[in-house]
Structure formats: structure tokens, C-alpha cells
Amino acid sequence: MDVDYIVVGTGSAGAVVANRLSADPGVSVLVLEAGPRDRNKFIHIPAAFSKLFRSNVDWDYLTEPQAELDNRRIYWPRGKTLGGSSSMNAMMWVPGFPADYDEWGEHAGADWSYAGLQKYLTRLEAGPLVISPQRSPRRSTAAWLAAAAECGHVGFCQTRVTQRRGARFSTADAYLKPVLRRPNLRLLTESTATRLVFAGDRVIGVEFEKAGVRDIVTARREVILCGGAINSPQLLMLSGIGDGDQLAHHGIEVRHHAPGVGANLLDHLVVPLGFEVPDDSLFAAEKPVELVNYLLRRRGMLTSNVGEAYGFVRSTPDLDLPDLELIFAPAPFFDEGIGDPYGHAVVMGPILLKPRSTGTITLRSADPLAKPVIDPRYLTDEADRTALMAGLRICAEIAGAAALRGVIGKVARPLNATTLDDETLHRALNSLSHTLYHPVGTCRMGRDEDSVVDPQLRVRGVQALRVADASVMPSLIRGHTHAPSVLIGEKAAELIAG
């Protein structure tokens, strides 16, 4: 099969790229998606997203043991279906601060600064992605917001969500499925990209595996990787683009020595503190009355995105901008979302927005179907622990505010503490913290020669290959990565189309 463009991945950026490129009837586009179609019913019911964890639509990754987190292996769910992680995330639309994009601009030039990207952010608010207010937030969410205000924190708010009429609205829903009838666009699902195909230093195609059979599709113009911060660097390394010594260790021919591939891994870490509540938490979301309310009216607990409210704070008053986000979920979201909730509870906790600790994605073997080695090296910079402890103390203060009196009860398992003193908070940080599902940076963009992609998202050292997903972000934003990933898809499509 021979087409003009091959897009690998249908997530927050890939679905956008496929839509925009195929809008030109004069070009042909093939999209490869490793997972199945998004027919799993839990994809579309917002509050059910954790039921997708460790299912057939989840890549189901684990990190290496994290020395600073009691040597725990942290579970990393990633979407393996149409829409990618936009089909299994918490749907939070938090695009970040202008300063975050100005930081990108320092790496990749003025076009990637806030002034250069503002038109894309404005465009995203206008559609086709639907961004909505919460339809049926819990009473405890309003009480938490009141408690935060009582403690002097301003700007806290209910979360806006990527939902349409109370159902999840992924980038596949918004960008890809409406255009699949275009004669110049072809989608192959359950087709895992296994390596890039070269002619000299030019990428001319992609090898993929479907139903146990390997095949190759060729691209006349370009291949665009949109697999995300794990899968895009993995495919580059499998294809000979990465650290030469590591590739040689796995017996992979080195096409281009690029030590930055898989480096600069950044992620948001959250520390959830649970509190027992008497009722009105999402523990009751599966009751028949809630299912009826959802099916007939698209209202009720099943419309919840779980992370119903948030706000930004500074770990120390001398900071110019917040370095922490506080999040509230009226749900017993314990054990990284894969445990069985035992009763009514709510969760609140700090998210470290600008970590100094960085990690790596490396190959476990040359087998393209083997999961890579994920080592985020959480809290290896002591400043990260200090900031999160400050955030935990702020959460403890909010939990004790009058607005939450009678709303929340004692600290929930597994802490089972009578007081949120520093010893308890340190224990929470080590034993409860987990990813907020925002890995970025492993194919960092920049103007410097050490960056993996240039400001046009072209992979250095080879021809006709770009990366367009969260892996190109040179730094984390003070927000959630779904919005800037969609933005990267829009920007990439314009760069490719010229």
C-alpha cells in the first residue's frame, strides 16, 4: 500500500493530524492504531474510566521500582484504542498558563511561545472538540471549593470537561470518526507499528503487525508519529534512532545517534489524601437509579469526570507562579484507581506541576511488542519532595476548614491516621502517590542540536519523519496535557501542509 502520509496513533494529537491532512482531497492518508475501535461502553461513560484500566484498551504499563516511593512500581495506564488516552482520561480541560508556552518558546522559538500559539488555543475552544461544564457535580465539590476560599485560596473552580451531553467526547469523536468516509483517508485498527522503513536516511514507510502478520505501508511524503511519550520514542529506538550504545546492546542497527530519544521524561505526580464521607460520593455511581438517570437524561453521578474541581497554589510565597495544583475528587479513588473501593470517600491532593526530577524511556529488548523500561525517577530531586509536602500541608488545612465540617470525616484507609501531621503526610507521599497520567518530553523539540525534533517537529538526522504528540513538549505545563496535545496536532498539521 502506498499513500502520501502515514499517521501512527489516533490519540489527542494523531486524530487531529489525520483530520487536517485528509481535508485536502489531493493527498492520501493512512492512520495506524494499535488498539481496537472505541466500542467499549466504559469509554463513553465519564465516571467509568477506571474500569478501562488493565483492559484490552490499555497499554497497561508499570514503571521501574521508584526508590523515593517505597520502591513501588507505579501503574501507568495509556489508551490503546481510537482516541488514545483521550478515550480513557479524566477529561479535564486545563490548558495551562501563558508562561508555560513561553517556556516552550525559549526552547523552540517564537512560534511556540504563547503569542505564537494563542490562535490555536482560541481555535480549540471553538470546536470541533466540545468543552463543557460539569453537569451533576457532587455537593462535596462545592463544599471543598468553599473550604479553599475560606483558607484564602482564590481562583479554584469546577473542572471543565471534554464531554458532549454528559458523555465523553474524545479526539476520535471530534476529529476522526466524522471524516472516516473521506475516500482519501484509511484507518487500520489493531495494527501495531513495529519499525520504520528507510531508504538511505529517508523514512519511506512503516512496518506494522496485524493479527500476527507483519506488513509494510509506504509513504510518498512523510510519516508522522503520534504515539505519545512512551510509544513514539520506543518506535524511534526500535528503528535505529536513539542512543547508539543502547541500540547496539539490543542488536539494533544505528540509523542516527540521538541520545535525547527517551530522555527528559517528565510527569505530574499526585498525592491523594482520602477522607470518609457518609454518602453522596461516586461509590454509589453504579446504583440502578444512577444508570437510569444517565441513560435517560445524561445526568447524575455517571457524568462525573471524577476530578471535579481544582486550583493552583504556590509551595512557597516567593514563587512568581504556582508550582502545585490541588485536585478534588468526590470518589474513593484509591490504589491508583485499580483497587476495589470499600465505601463512600472523597480524595484531595497536591499535584507537582514543575518537577525537577527527570526520567527515561528505554528499550527492554529489540522485540517491538515488549513493553519498554519506564523510569520517571520521581522525587530524586529533593526540591520536589519539599514542594509536595507543602501542598499536602495546604490540603490538610483545607480539610480542617469550617466549610468541610460535617461533610468529610476521618482520614480513610490505608493511612487510617487520627491527625495529618508531617509524619502522616510523609507516609502518604511515599506510599500513596501516583502518576496523574501526563508523561511528556521524551522526543523534546528545540532549536539546539541535542533536541530530538526541530521547531518544525522534524526528527533530526533523518528525512520525511516528524513527531507530533506530548513527547515533543520540552517542559510540563501548569495544567493537564490533553489540551496542549490537541494544540500540537493542530500546529503540526499546518507545518506539514506548509
Q: Where are the domains of the chain?
A: 1-38+94-130+170-262+440-498, 48-75+132-163+269-354+379-432
Active centre residues (catalytic): 438, 480
pLDDT at 1: 86
pLDDT at 340: 82
Q: For each successive 10 residues of the chain (498 residues), what is the average pLDDT?
A: 96 98 98 98 97 98 98 98 98 98 98 98 94 97 98 98 98 98 98 98 98 97 98 98 98 98 98 96 94 95 98 98 98 91 94 98 98 98 98 98 97 89 97 98 98 98 98 98 98 96
User: Would you give the distance in Å from CA 52 to the centre of its chain?
Assistant: 15
pLDDT at 339: 84
- What is each CA distance from 211 to 109, 189, 227, 477, in whole angstroms? 43, 10, 20, 38
CB 232 within 8 A of CB 453: no
The contacts of residue 323 (CB under 8 Å, 6+ apart) are: 314, 315, 352, 353, 354, 387, 478
pLDDT at 416: 82
Helices 114-125 and 482-497: angle between axes, nearest 10 degrees: 110
Superfamily of domain 1-38+94-130+170-262+440-498: FAD/NAD(P)-binding domain (3.50.50.60)
Query: Of the candidates 10, 92, 87, 94, which has an alpha carbon nearest to the alpha carbon of residue 49?
Result: 87
CA-to-CA distance for 306 and 137, rounded, in angstroms? Answer: 9
Its pTM surpasses 0.85: yes
- What is each CA distance from 37 to 44, 179, 196, 209, in whole angstroms? 12, 15, 24, 16
Residue 215 has a CB neighbour count (10 Å cut-off) of 13
Helices 139-150 and 382-399: angle between axes, nearest 10 degrees: 110
CB 216 within 8 A of CB 197: yes
Cα dihedral across residues 404, 272, 79, 55: positive or negative: negative
- What is each CA distance from 26 to 3, 100, 249, 342, 498, in whole angstroms? 11, 37, 43, 56, 14
Cα dihedral across residues 157, 383, 100, 171: positive or negative: negative
pLDDT at 414: 87
Angle at 56 between CA 439 and CA 341, to 5 degrees: 75
Structural class in CATH, domain 48-75+132-163+269-354+379-432: alpha beta
CA-to-CA distance for 334 and 338, rounded, in angstroms? Answer: 8
Cα dihedral across residues 200, 202, 205, 207: positive or negative: positive
